[in-house]
Amino acid sequence: MALTLPGTAFACRCATDTIATGYERAFAVVVGSVESVRPIEPVGVGSGSMATVNVSTAWKHAMPASLQVSSQTTCAYEWEAGRSYVLAIFQDAGRWSTSMCLGNHALPADAAVGWLRRHGHTEAVEAE
């Protein structure tokens, strides 16, 4: 039987956090600027947020120009409005999500973007 106390913190345990692994595991990887961030109700352990991301570049799959991307649990990715990021994202039941375990980086992220340009497959960013 496991007991947890109120306020007990659980650490995120990522097996890896490189953009190469994120590219391999994710539905798509995008470069985008975060327009806004709002908190969302926690699911299970940890907290989370929802970001509106304006996509400028996409790899693996064509992506909409604007996305609502959530990040929750103890591995929630922390982002800030007004900053740009390389984000590896998943789609589940029509919802986009990411985590800190996917090699996401705030720009400038020369090594991550360089890897994507050399090894990734660029796709279209679709106007809404």
Residue 7 located in a structural domain: no
Q: Which helix (H) or strand (E) segment is 115 a member of?
A: helix 110-119
Residue 2 located in a structural domain: no
Note whether 67 and 89 are within 8 A (CB). Answer: yes
Domain of residue 41: give its range. Answer: 19-123
Q: What is the pLDDT of residue 16?
A: 59
Better-predicted residue by pLDDT, 73 or 81 = 81
We report the CATH number of the domain holding residue 45 as 2.40.50.120
Q: Which residue has the tokens 């090894």?
A: 119
Lowest mean pLDDT of 10-19, 55-64, 107-116, name the range.
10-19
Q: What is the pLDDT of residue 2?
A: 42
In this prediction, what percent of the chain has a pLDDT beyond 90? 65
Split at pLDDT 50, 70, 90, the class of 42 is low
Q: What is the pLDDT of residue 109?
A: 87
Total domains, the chain: 1
